[in-house]
């Protein structure tokens, strides 16, 4: 395998992981909203503060898509993720309005 | 500052600066808070591991459903966020946090939420290039609980726009000082 092919494969593996982690995080928001008032207050605050990492993840994924680094299947899953984000964004806005 | 002219304990200072938004902070007080945060221990409580990471190998062992907070945070930064390389040890992670907090351009905000006083440090990323992951950020963020006297998290951030520090937070040492720094 030449270096270019290896680089593309590694990047697609990275994208694969980021799509999975992003989906899991955004899917979990309704459950978090229902439970967060029962959490340790410190855990709740850390969760909200760290959410910026999820926004950064989306920015990275957007870049990968724009660079044409995603497979067609990954691009379709990224589109699904953006729909999920649009659906659940209000939750994180409510949680961060603390 | 106490009546005798001595600087209060940093956790008391943080509380005072939150309680009285008109109370100015001296350069010495800001420095004392930052030095205190830099030396503070990382949260030692055991916390839940995100389900997708349970069973993954990290630092030579498989992650269980609950681990100490430092392990969980570093595992996230390495495995899920790809901010630090997978060769990064806990000791190196803690050293990165300390260096970031003590960076001359580190910004400092204080705020209260959920009955807890926090200091949040936002600094240029000081992680050596050799230990950066594949998705590094330009900044480092280090929140500190003044109630419990410990650092509660740390991560790299791509930019300040995505930060979720509350709008009402009081920036004792403002962000603008390093707005245009280079990574």
Cβ neighbours of residue B86 under 8 Å, at least 6 residues apart? B78, B79, B133
Residue B8 confidence (pLDDT)? 87
ipTM of the complex model: 0.91
In sign, the C-alpha dihedral spanning A29, A34, A39, A41 is positive
Q: What are phi and psi of B112, to 5 degrees?
A: -115, 135
Residues B57-91 have pLDDT tens digits of 999 999 999 999 999 999 999 999 999 999 999 99
Report the candidate in B37, B45, B40 with the shortest Cα–Cα distance to residue B122: B37
What is the pLDDT, as a whole number, of residue B180?
43
pLDDT of residue B182: 43
Residue-wise pLDDT tens digits, A66-89? 999 999 999 999 999 999 999 999
| pLDDT by 10s per residue, chain B, length 183 | 555 567 789 999 999 999 999 999 999 999 999 999 999 999 999 999 988 899 999 999 999 999 999 999 999 999 999 999 999 999 999 999 999 999 999 999 999 999 999 999 999 999 999 999 999 999 999 999 999 999 999 999 999 999 999 999 999 999 765 544 443
Instruction: Tell which of B115, B164, B167, B169 to mutate to test the A interface (max A CBs under 10 Å).
Output: B164
Q: Which residues are B13's β-sheet partners?
A: none
Distance CA B39, CA B79 (A): 26
- pLDDT band per the 50, 70, 90 thresholds, residue A4: confident
Domain residue ranges in chain B: 10-178
Contact A46 B152 (CB under 8 A): yes
The answer to whether the beta carbons of residues B122 and B106 sit under 8 Å apart is yes
Q: What is the pLDDT of residues A28-53, one digit of tens each?
A: 999 999 999 999 999 999 999 999 99
Beta strands B155-157; B139-145: pairing state: antiparallel
pLDDT of residue B155: 98
Residue A15 has pLDDT above 80, yes or no: yes
Locate the chain B residue with the closest alpha carbon to A44.
B114
pLDDT at B4: 55
- B contact residues 154-183, partner A, Cβ 8 Å cutoff: 155, 157-159, 162-166
| Cα(A81)–Cα(A70) distance, integer angstroms | 14
Give the separation between CA B166 and CA A51, rounded to whole angstroms. Answer: 13
d(CA A76, CA A18): 14
Q: Name the residue among B135, B155, B158 with its Cβ closest to that of A50.
A: B155
Query: Which pTM does this prediction carry?
Result: 0.92
Burial label for B125, CB within 10 Å (0-12, 13-18, 19+), is: buried
Instruction: Determine the average pLDDT of the residues in A15-38.
Output: 96
CA distance B93 to B43: 13
């Amino acid at each position: 395998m030449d270096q270019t092919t290896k680089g593309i494969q590694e990047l697609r593996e990275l994208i694969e992981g980021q799509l999975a982690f992003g989906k899991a995080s955004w899917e979990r928001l309704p459950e978090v909203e229902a439970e967060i008032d029962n959490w340790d207050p410190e855990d709740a605050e850390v969760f909200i503060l760290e959410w910026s990492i999820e926004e950064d993840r989306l920015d990275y994924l957007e870049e990968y898509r724009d660079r044409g680094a995603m497979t067609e299947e990954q691009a379709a899953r990224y589109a699904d993720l953006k729909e999920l984000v649009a659906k659940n964004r209000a939750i994180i806005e409510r949680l961060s309005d603390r | 500052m106490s009546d005798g002219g001595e600087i209060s304990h940093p956790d008391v200072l943080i509380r005072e600066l939150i309680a009285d938004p008109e109370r100015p902070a001296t350069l010495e007080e800001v420095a004392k808070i930052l030095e205190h945060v830099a030396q503070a221990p990382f949260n030692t409580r055991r916390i839940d591991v995100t389900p997708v990471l349970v069973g993954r190998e990290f630092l030579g062992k498989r992650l269980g459903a609950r681990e100490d907070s430092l392990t969980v945070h570093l595992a996230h930064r390495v495995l899920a966020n790809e901010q630090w390389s997978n060769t990064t040890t806990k000791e190196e992670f803690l050293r990165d946090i300390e260096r970031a907090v003590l960076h001359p351009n580190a910004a400092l905000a204080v705020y209260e939420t959920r009955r807890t006083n926090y200091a949040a440090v936002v600094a240029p990323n000081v992680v050596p290039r050799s230990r950066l992951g594949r998705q590094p950020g330009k900044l480092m963020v280090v929140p500190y609980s003044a109630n419990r006297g410990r650092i509660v998290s740390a991560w790299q951030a791509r930019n300040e726009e995505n930060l979720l520090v509350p709008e009402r937070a009081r920036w004792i040492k403002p962000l603008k000082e390093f707005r245009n720094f280079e990574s």
